[in-house]
């Protein structure tokens, strides 16, 4: 499960790019761009802080990192699928 790139937008939104098909080469960049879908996900301030806290905890405990990462990915994908 690979994480889609996330771009911060202004006023606590984040845009999630979901690739419909991954390109093998860098040949047709424009083609690839057209196949990407941009989704804006609203984030409240509290949730942002929560993410930061999770990141700090992640740094503290090495064992939980993979599980947390998968959680985050699935959350992003779920939000994207809903919108």
Q: With left for phi above 0 and alpha for psi between -120 and 50, is residue 41 left, alpha or beta?
A: beta
Residue 2, CA distances (Å) to 11, 19, 44, 49, 70 in order: 26, 10, 24, 24, 9
Counting residues of the chain whose pLDDT is more than 70, the rounded percentage is: 8
Query: What is the rounded average pLDDT for all residues in the chain?
Result: 60
Q: What is the total count of domains within the chain? A: 1
Query: How far is the C-alpha of 60 from the C-alpha of 77, rounded, in Å?
Result: 26
The backbone torsions φ and ψ at residue 79, rounded to the nearest 5 degrees and listed phi first, read -60, -45
Q: What is the pLDDT of residues 19-30, one digit of tens each?
A: 555 555 555 555
Is residue 32 a contact partner of residue 17, using CB atoms and an 8 Å limit?
no
Query: Structural domain of residue 44, as residue ranges?
Result: 6-82
0.75 surpassed by pTM: no
- At residue 58 the predicted structure's pLDDT band, cuts being 50, 70 and 90, is low
In a domain, 21, yes or no: yes
Would residue 19 count as lying in a domain? yes
pLDDT of residue 52: 73
**Residue 1 domain-assigned?**
no
Residue 56 binned pLDDT confidence (cut-offs 50, 70, 90) = confident
């Amino acid at each position: 499960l690979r994480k889609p790139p996330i771009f911060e937008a202004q006023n606590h939104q984040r845009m999630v790019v979901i690739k419909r098909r991954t390109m093998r080469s860098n040949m047709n960049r424009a083609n690839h761009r057209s196949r990407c879908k941009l989704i804006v996900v609203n984030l409240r301030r509290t949730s942002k802080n929560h993410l930061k806290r999770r990141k700090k905890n992640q740094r503290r405990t090495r064992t939980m990192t993979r599980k947390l990462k998968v959680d985050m990915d699935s959350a992003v994908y779920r939000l994207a699928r809903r919108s």
